[in-house]
Amino acid sequence: MPRHSFRWFILLLIIIIAGTLVWFKMRPEDIEISVSQVTRGTVEKIVANTRAGTLNACRKANLSPGIGGQINLLTVEEGDRVSAGQLLVELWNNDLKSEAVLAKKEIKAAEAKTAASLLEAEIAAREAERKQKLVQDNAISDQDVDKAKTEASIRRAAYNAVLTEVEARRAHLAVINAQLERTRLVAPFDGIIAKINGELNEYVTPSPPGIATPPTVELLDTSCFYVIAPIDEVDAPAVKINMDARVIMDAFGEKHFPARVRRIDPYVLDREKQARTVDVEVEFINSDKENDFLAGYSADVEIIIEVQNNVLRIPTQALLDSSRVFVYQPRSRTLQERSVKIGLSNWDNTQIIEGLQEGESVVISTDRPGLEGGVRVTISQE
């Protein structure tokens, strides 16, 4: 080879190597991405609450005596379990108890008087009957017979009057007992004492609805619970009674509790500076954790509107504008932008009807700058 040709070859080789080094130095770095495979599984269309709901006991009673008075007997403490009919609080009622004792004695006296009056009435009736027979034998005059009959009638009327008196005294005792009942607070159902507003010798008053007076005792039935949660008015038409649902509570981490819709409010709440919502009640289905529940827990509700099983699905975060995804090409280590047709969707997964195959990988880190079709990428090892 001539010397000048060899020199040109060396120069060209140097230029190629230098150009290659410059290209490697100047080329854009691969974008680091995270991917997820297209898989088959279940996709649900759900409606979720707009604000945290509240766990409620099935029954709650705010109890107060029917009249005002001083607490004389307090038989329970907060946290106690009570049975239906159990006495909780009794106001001072010694005066009514004394009246009841007196009324009972008056009834006994009236009953004794009734027995005597009845005996007198029976004697008078027999005497009248005897004289009626004597007048037939002309042993006595008609005047004596009339007098005996009148006496029998008087005795019978006196007996009836005494009977009425007994009934009146019994009615009076019933009134006293009713007044006594108003001084006693009893449990209307089995439950737990949630709160007591009052101590011995303190004065308490009735707490009718609409008046800001705290109840004397708050009683909860913790044998079952339900959740009240608001949903957006736009979602309300899709929700129906008996639809399956899930309840998630912060107190139990990510555990899901099966439930069903039991009630939908028939009106929309319009609260100032808040979205219009509809309250929905869901009840638990055979939950073995209800004994651990505490009324007042915050709770989120997911109502299952529709379910598709064994369908292609991808993480919802992989979708761009609900119609595009970036598909990772492992041979060229590049991205391909692809249009897709979707079906059911929720926060976690979206059903793919067209555009992807099972096993392909789609980009889920769609917020990385520079992503577009054809760019080189590297998969994050995280």
Q: Of 58, 83, 161, 80, which is closest to residue 116 (Cα–Cα)? A: 161
Map tokens 């009834």 to a residue.
Answer: 107
Q: How far apart are CA 223 and CA 358, in angstroms?
A: 47
> Does the pLDDT at position 22 exceed 70?
no
DSSP string across 307-374 = EEEEEEEEEGGG-BTTTEEEEEETTTTEEEEEE-EEEEE-SSEEEEEES--TT-EEES-TTSTT--TT
Asked whether the CA dihedral 286, 288, 289, 291 is positive or negative, the reply is: positive
Confidence of residue 137 (pLDDT cuts 50, 70, 90): low
The pLDDT score that the predictor gives to residue 223 is 84
pLDDT band at residue 148 under the 50/70/90 scheme? low
Bridge partners, 257 (sequence order)? 247
Longest dimension (CA), the chain: 186
* More confidently predicted of 362 and 209: 362
Which pLDDT score is estimated for 147? 74
What pLDDT shows up at residue 353?
Answer: 94
Q: What is the rounded average pLDDT for all residues in the chain?
A: 85
Model-level pTM?
0.68
Whether residue 209 is predicted with pLDDT greater than 70 in this model: the reply is: no
33 — pLDDT class (breaks 50, 70, 90): confident
- Alpha-carbon span 221 to 296, nearest angstrom: 13
Query: What is the per-residue pLDDT for 259?
Result: 94
pLDDT of residue 9: 65
pLDDT (0 to 100) of residue 317: 92
CA–CA separation, 69 and 76 (whole Å): 18
Q: Is the pLDDT of residue 74 over 80?
A: yes
What residues contact residue 98 under an 8 Å CB cut-off, 6+ apart? none
102-122 burial: b if 16+ Cβ within 10 Å, else e = ebeebbeebeebbeebbebbe
Give the tens place of pLDDT for each residue, 248-293: 999 888 889 999 999 999 999 887 667 889 999 999 988 676 778 8
**Which residues, in sequence order, are bridge partners of residue 302?**
48, 246
pLDDT number for residue 12: 72
**Bridge partners (DSSP) listed for residue 91:** 71
What's the pLDDT band for 303 if we cut at 50, 70, 90? Answer: very high
Helix, strand, coil distribution of the chain in percent, nearest 5: 30, 35, 30
pLDDT in tens, 193-206: 999 998 888 888 88
Q: Which are the contacts of 343, defined by CB distance < 8 A and separation ≥ 6?
A: 43, 308, 311, 350, 351, 352, 353
CA 251, 254, 258, 260 dihedral sign is positive
The answer to whether 280 and 260 have CB atoms below 8 angstroms apart is no
Query: pLDDT higher for 139 or 345?
Result: 345
How far is it, in rounded angstroms, from Cα 361 to Cα 314?
Answer: 9
